[in-house]
Structure 1
Amino acid sequence: MVVIRLARGGSKKRPFYNIVATDSRNRRDGRFNERIGFYNPMASGAAPRLSINEASLNAWVANGAQMSDTVARLYKEFKKAAAPAA
């Protein structure tokens, strides 16, 4: 099964997460099919905190991919932030 989840990057005590579509049997930071976006919880200033390619995410979900709980929460936050700007 394909899942959409976070893959951790960054250095110690400075996390950076890629939002990826991957097979559920792969390791957390291992091989993935597509990078859909990123989440930077330590972002400061004008640096973007969250970026998601909605077209890719929706295409994967339409083909049966399951979002992890955290990615679903981040996507909901992303849509909420994008709605007033549009």
Structure 2
Amino acid sequence: MVKLRLKRCGRKQRAIYRIVAIDVRSRRDGRALCKVGLYDPINNQTSLNLPAIFHFIEKGAEPTRTVYNILKKAKIFQELSGFFFNPNPLFLSTNKEAISNATMKISWRVRSWLRMNAGGMLNTCKLDGKWCFQWRMNRAEAYYFFI
């Protein structure tokens, strides 16, 4: 399983963190699959590679709580603003108000289906060159809703 987490760089008393996609079994400073961003807590600067982040999240990578807060502060999940995110992000809340607010752009059939099946996992992905929601109930079923 792949996680998006922080990897410490810099010198003593001057920490800088890389945001990396890395296997969960690796050490904190182990070999990363891909560098997807940089976070400097002292100067409060963040640089992110958004296509790489969306690619890894689409493939099932989970950000750690700290990385998730960095991404949320950078408004990465702005297109999904009506959804409630847990510390393990991209799992949909069963709160009916959050579901109805976030699905205003989606047709009434999809809204009624979401109300009946409040569970599962929601990702964003690109399908045929357009951004869409991917709703996954299990590994076999996947539904795509265009934004």
Q: Fold-level match, TM-score > 0.5?
A: yes
Q: Which has the higher contact order (CA 8 A, sep 6+)?
A: 1
Question: Aligned letter for 1:76?
Answer: K
1:14-47 CA deviation, whole Å, 9 max, x = no partner?
110000000000100110000000000112xxxx
Question: Aligned letter for 1:24?
Answer: V
Q: CA RMSD in A?
A: 1.3
In the other structure, the counterpart of 2:24 is 24
In the other structure, the counterpart of 2:61 is 65
Aligned mates of 1:54, 1:25 — CA distance in 2? 24
Q: Provide runs of 4+ in structure 1 moved above 4 Å.
A: none
TM (norm. structure 2) is 0.50
> Displacement of 1:77 after TM fit?
0.7
Question: Aligned letter for 1:62?
Answer: E
Percent sequence identity is 39
> Displacement of 1:54 after TM fit?
1.1
Q: Secondary structure at the match of 1:3?
A: strand
Q: Secondary structure at the match of 2:47?
A: strand
TM (norm. structure 1) is 0.84
In the other structure, the counterpart of 1:84 is none
Unaligned runs of at least 5 residues, structure 2: 77-147
Aligned mates of 1:69, 1:17 — CA distance in 2? 15
Aligned length: 76
Unaligned runs of at least 5 residues, structure 1: 81-86
